[in-house]
């Protein structure tokens, strides 16, 4: 039998501040977190406040496409 597509999917969270141009940071780069979300409970894109080691502070991380 073929595998059933589950409701949980792997998503990548990318720092929103690091992706903007012209932002002064200590180190160049973009930091990404890997997590899971339930497609049925949260059909919209995911946004969480996480720590970014490049910005050295808690910033908004938005879901990005693979």
For residue range 1-57, what is the model confidence (pLDDT) as tens digits? 556 677 889 999 988 888 776 566 666 667 789 999 998 888 899 999 999 888 888
Give the CA angle between residues 46, 51, 55 to the nearest 5°.
110
pLDDT for 24: 62
pLDDT for 2: 59
Number of domains within the chain: 1
* Token duo for residue 54: 């490049």
Helix (H, G, I), strand (E, B) or coil at 35: strand
Residue 39 lies in a domain: yes
Q: How far apart are the C-alpha atoms of 66 and 55, rounded to whole Å?
A: 23
CATH code of 25's domain: 2.20.28.120
Output the pTM of the full model: 0.73
Residue 3 lies in a domain: no
């Amino acid at each position: 039998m073929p595998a059933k597509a589950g409701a949980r999917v792997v998503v990548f969270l990318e720092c929103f501040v690091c992706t903007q141009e012209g932002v002064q940071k200590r180190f160049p780069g973009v930091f990404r977190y890997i997590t899971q979300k339930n497609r049925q409970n949260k059909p919209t894109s995911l946004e969480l406040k996480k720590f970014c080691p490049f910005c050295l502070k808690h910033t908004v991380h938005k879901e990005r496409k693979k």
